Amino acid sequence: MSATERFLRYIRLDTRSSDSAGTTPSSQGQWALARLLANELQAMGLPASVDKNCVVTARMPASPGCESAPAIGFLAHLDTSPDFSGQGVKAVVHQRYDGGDVALPKEGRVLRVSDFPVLKGLAGKTLITADGSTLLGADDKAGAAEIVEMCARLLAGDTPHGPVCVAFTPDEEIGQGADHFDVAAFGAKYAYTVDGGAAGSIEYENFNAASAIITIEGVAVHPGAAKGVMENALLIAQEINAALPPEQIPARTDGYQGFFHLDGLEGTAARARMGYIIRDHDRDLFEEKKALLAAVCQRVGRAHPTAKVTLSMRDSYYNMKQRLAGCMHLVENAKRAAELAGLVPVTVPIRGGTDGARLSYMGLPCPNLGTGGYNFHGPMECVCAEDMEAAADMLVHIVRIYSGYGQ
């Protein structure tokens, strides 16, 4: 079985997480995928297990002569984004893709090269999309497939290898992927998350991240008698958002630039709720953004003394770069492994985060590797079959390098 074949099995399961479920994992579909992955690993002879929090772990002992090599870990996450439907995913396989626009069968959606220029570089390869009515699930079922395929290749061949640890975690998409992860029990000295974009990409810088919830209690009266009394919570919400820098939003930033992202606004004139995520690669600028949002809420609240503006804010994760400064061999060895797999290594900052960011702060240095997938979290998601196979090969080469056989 190839990484692609494994991937096409995994995406049939709806594993969307939910930030309102209040359970771990946040969806039943994640249990189904966890058991499927554990069963596949067990069928190879690996003693895989699923714990009470839906974390799948397995350990491959070192081959003879490689016992002293450092244990290397590889992780992917079970859930897909709650932002778009993951139910009834139907893959469409485009053999020998011509590099042009792709009309998806459902909902009239078209994957346009003008919107996603990366498609040009996939011409001649096998492109996999969903049918336009769901996301595909490459984030991160492609990573899961590549890790399982790596295990299969190591076990089936005569590749010498040190200890290899693998794990699949729930609820990464809602920021809870590392909540119940036991780094010490995992047993790896170093690790990689396999949760990125282009195959061959290596990411060791990510956003510092926080989430904020603003609740606004207005003063509701009949609009015919509202003069001097009504405080419209929705208008106060608009006032708060308008006070933030208009250029610091996702649609106007890229690279290392941070942003405020209003990702939820609901309510009535009487009560409203706003949800923000705050991001910046630079820790000082990140703290400044949090302070600015707090100051805006205070200022707007003072301007509406009979209303009530309440801000709740928490940090989600931090830039892993600081924790990887002494472990840059992880990046250099990944570059070499990419070249050996026939890929072009590229280091890029993540405009997001992974479980690896939190794991790095928990004592497990953990950069992120590309899977061959693109356009995550929506119906335009796609993945390249040949790049998935090369990504799995890259993982094998990483293991060989740390075992002393990666020439």
Q: Is the dihedral of CA 216, 219, 221, 227 positive or negative?
A: negative
Q: What does the angle CA 133 – CA 135 – CA 137 come to, to the nearest 5 degrees?
A: 145
What's the residue count for the chain?
407
Catalytic residues: 79, 172
Three-class DSSP labels, the chain: CCHHHHHHHHCCCCCECCCCCCCCCCCHHHHHHHHHHHHHHHHCCCCCEECCCCCEEEEECCCCCCCCCCCEEEEEECCECCCCCCCCCCCEEECCCCCCCEECCCCCCEECCCCCHHHHHHCCCCEEECCCCCCCCHHHHHHHHHHHHHHHHHHHCCCCCCCEEEEEECCHHHCCCCCCCCHHHHCCCEEEEEEECCCCEEECCCCEEEEEEEEEECECCCHHHCCCCCECHHHHHHHHHHCCCCCCCHHHCCCCCCEEEEEEEEECCCEEEEEEEEEECCHHHHHHHHHHHHHHHHHHHHHCCCCEEEEEEEEEECCCHHHHCCCCHHHHHHHHHHHHCCCCCEECCCCCCCHHHHHHHCCCCCCEEECCEECCCCCCCEEEHHHHHHHHHHHHHHHHHHCCCCC
CB 208 within 8 A of CB 279: yes
Residue 2 has which token pair?
């190839």
> Amino acid letter at 251?
A
Residue 63 has which token pair?
């081959």
CB 78 within 8 A of CB 145: no
State how far the Cα of 361 lies from the Cα of 172, in Å rounded to an integer.
16
